[in-house]
Structure 1
Amino acid sequence: MKRIAAALAFCLLPFALPAIAQDTYPSRSITMIVPFAPGGSTDAIGRIVSEGLRQVLGQTVVVENRAGAGGSIGTAAIADAPPDGYTIGIGTASTLAINPATYKNLTFDVHEDVVPIGGIADVPNIMSVNKSVPAADIAALVELCRANPGMLSYASAGNGSVSHLLGEQFRLATGSDIVHVPYRGAGPALTEVVGGQVEILFDNLPTSLPFVLDGRLRPLAVSGASRVPALPEVPTFAEAGLEDMNWMAFFGLVAPKGTPEPIIRKLGDALGQALALPAIRERLVAQQAIVTASPPEAFKAQIEQNLDLMRRAAAAANIQLE
């Protein structure tokens, strides 16, 4: 009888080990892949969240920047990682909505190859112009563009970026004949608009805000359900009559498909606890982020809603990238 019991226990061992591993998770450091270069909004938010997770989980969370192809290289690395909870990553509007809507040959499927852990925050976008542009609001800018077809240009952080989609949405919605000038990142695009080489900029708010506050950029509109506290005089895109542009960039945590559900739940709970820490929340708010702390189901719904929006925008602008 004892031999039978022992044999049965041995047979069940492979099924028991994952449960034991999940009960002790995490027992070592976790890698968080940030699919963009250091210095941008995604990197800043990733590093803040990694510190919060360290405090909650009691293990180091190492940020690893894997930039390239608008975030696709890093997202592919997340999708290809072992599904054991020790590699997670930041998912954004660019990587989970815009890239699948614009790139034809992605090596991953956001519905099949990564799973949501939870939402972190939404960040408003902003449209601004160089201070020398004689337009105090969007209506005046549209009039200027129509009076000078093909003479004004807008800078983006690159083909297929958030700023590119916004620029094309603006061009199509207003009938403005403006030229797209893509750069390799938000920093160079911002530098060129501040310097006057390009007139118009679409960007995440945190990057542009210091230049708006010191008068080197003139803000025309921001995205969001309400106006940004730092810029109370600046209307939302919806208030300016551009409802389809009133979406915000979003950030969340994702894991490779196949990561055990108990680990996903533990990470999701830890993320919620981390975002509730006053110091972590303060640092995110300083990045102009609106903390969402949404559970996996809500974050998944947000991804799907944005993917549908971006597919329609990309199709209307005929944006297809290799």
Structure 2
Amino acid sequence: MTYPINRRQALVAGGGLLGAATLPRWAHAQGYPHRPITLVVPFAPGGAVDISARAVADRLGKVLGQTVVVENRAGAGGAIGSAMVARAPADGYTLVVTSQSTHVVGPAVMPNLPYNAETDFAPVTLIDRLANVLLINAGLPVRDFAEFVTYAKAHPGKWNYASSGNGSVAHLSMELLNAKLGLDLTHVPYKGAGPALTDLLGGLVHVTWNNLTSNLPNIANGKLRALAVAAPQRVALLPSVPTFDELKLPDLNLTSWTGLAAPARTPEPVILRLYAAMRTVLADPATRAAWEQRGAIVPEPLTPAQYRQEISQRIQFFKDVVRTNKIVL
């Protein structure tokens, strides 16, 4: 007599899509999540990545029906926290907030990172896009981008720019600006964006490139002046400030972003559950209003595969920037 076999038996027998070794991982994904999720921020509290994480954590938790706990694991430019998640169990309960620093620029210029941004993670989707902004101390004698370029060319080597460190987004972006416009702004690297901002406000350095979100208060109170933004269109909070596209500098018009990723080999149903939850979060009008209020952009709906592709493309872009413009790190 022939007995019918169920789907699980068929898979274990080897005729299905999954082998016996993978079945526990798929079974574990059923009913996900059934306990709290840890969202690792690989930077200190208060920065743009941390702000994005805390903005999304509660909203994501409500959609998933579980608490999402933000945990800051700062150090080594984001490498420590990112590496920790890369080594975490691939079960969907330890996630990381990805950023340009940890998953694009760092991998593009630092060959000895303790993780591989393209193979050690399972990307989920974007949390937000963040406009970048070219900032000067408001006490300097220029009012807009054109005056800035004119002054910098008339006084080569007189002004310097601050960055959050060698090989940072700010460093590469400002060197690209130097190369495109023939400027001679001197690089002053700091150990993080916070100290760089402090010295910019104090007038010890003159210019910086940073995200808009963490600099809005100082722009609003008149201590810093925004000259240009890297964004798809002008930012509602800075309607008079042109984009780099408008200034005929499209290579500089890249937004930064934060995103969500799990360790590689996380079961696909878990990734898809997280992706669907993020789509729900980002479609909520209240989320859109909250993102706009902090100067962030609600991102287009990138699938996990599209997000992986964007990470790879941007890594290559910055590798090309360093090589083409002979930037010394």
Deviation at 1:44, TM superposition (A): 0.8
Match of 1:125 in 2: 132
Match of 1:289 in 2: 296
Aligned 1:65-84 pairs, distance under 5 A: 65-84=72-91
Match of 1:312 in 2: 320
Match of 1:46 in 2: 53
Deviation at 1:246, TM superposition (A): 0.5
Match of 1:176 in 2: 183
C-alpha distance in structure 1 between counterparts of 2:328 and 2:277, whole Å: 38
Q: Letter of the aligned partner of 1:306 in structure 2?
A: R
> Which one of 105, 109, 118 corresponds to residue 116 of structure 2?
109
Deviation at 1:40, TM superposition (A): 0.7
Q: Letter of the aligned partner of 2:307 in structure 1?
A: F
User: Residues 246, 143 of structure 1: CA spacing in aligned structure 2 closer, same or farther, 3 A cutoff?
Assistant: same
> Which one of 214, 226, 230 corresponds to residue 219 of structure 1?
226
- How many residues align? The count is 320
Match of 2:242 in 1: 235
Match of 1:55 in 2: 62
Aligned 1:236-275 pairs, distance under 5 A: 236-275=243-282
Contact 1:123–1:289 (CA under 8 A) maintained in structure 2: yes
Match of 1:20 in 2: 27
Q: Identity over aligned residues, as a percent?
A: 43
Deviation at 1:83, TM superposition (A): 0.7
Runs of 5+ consecutive residues of structure 2 not aligned to the other structure: 13-19
C-alpha distance in structure 1 between counterparts of 2:130 and 2:209, whole Å: 13
Contact 1:104–1:320 (CA under 8 A) maintained in structure 2: no
Partner deviation per Cα, 1:24-73 (whole Å, 9 max, x = no partner): 21111111111111101100111121111110111111111111222222
C-alpha distance in structure 2 between counterparts of 1:201 and 1:320, whole Å: 18
User: Residues 14, 202 of structure 1: CA spacing in aligned structure 2 closer, same or farther, 3 A cutoff?
Assistant: closer
C-alpha distance in structure 2 between counterparts of 1:193 and 1:320, whole Å: 23
User: Residues 276, 125 of structure 1: CA spacing in aligned structure 2 closer, same or farther, 3 A cutoff?
Assistant: same
Match of 2:39 in 1: 32
Match of 2:17 in 1: none
Deviation at 1:16, TM superposition (A): 4.5
User: Residues 288, 26 of structure 1: CA spacing in aligned structure 2 closer, same or farther, 3 A cutoff?
Assistant: same
Match of 1:90 in 2: 97
Match of 1:135 in 2: 142
Q: Letter of the aligned partner of 1:189 in structure 2?
A: A
More displaced, 279-288 or 21-30?
Answer: 279-288
Contact 2:26–2:267 (CA under 8 A) maintained in structure 1: no
Deviation at 1:15, TM superposition (A): 5.5
Match of 1:197 in 2: 204
C-alpha distance in structure 1 between counterparts of 2:42 and 2:134, whole Å: 24
What is the DSSP-based 3-state SS (H/G/I as helix, E as strand, rest coil) of the residue aligned with 2:30?
helix
Deviation at 1:14, TM superposition (A): 6.0
Runs of 5+ consecutive residues of structure 1 not aligned to the other structure: none
Q: Letter of the aligned partner of 2:313 in structure 1?
A: Q
C-alpha distance in structure 1 between counterparts of 2:322 and 2:77, whole Å: 15
Contact 2:136–2:224 (CA under 8 A) maintained in structure 1: yes
Q: Letter of the aligned partner of 2:194 in structure 1?
A: G
C-alpha distance in structure 1 between counterparts of 2:21 and 2:175, whole Å: 53
Q: Letter of the aligned partner of 1:26 in structure 2?
A: P
C-alpha distance in structure 1 between counterparts of 2:326 and 2:237, whole Å: 35
Which protein has the bigger helix share?
Answer: 1
Deviation at 1:294, TM superposition (A): 2.3
Contact 1:31–1:61 (CA under 8 A) maintained in structure 2: yes
C-alpha distance in structure 1 between counterparts of 2:239 and 2:315, whole Å: 30
Q: Letter of the aligned partner of 2:37 in structure 1?
A: I
C-alpha distance in structure 2 between counterparts of 1:70 and 1:315, whole Å: 22
Contact 2:218–2:224 (CA under 8 A) maintained in structure 1: yes
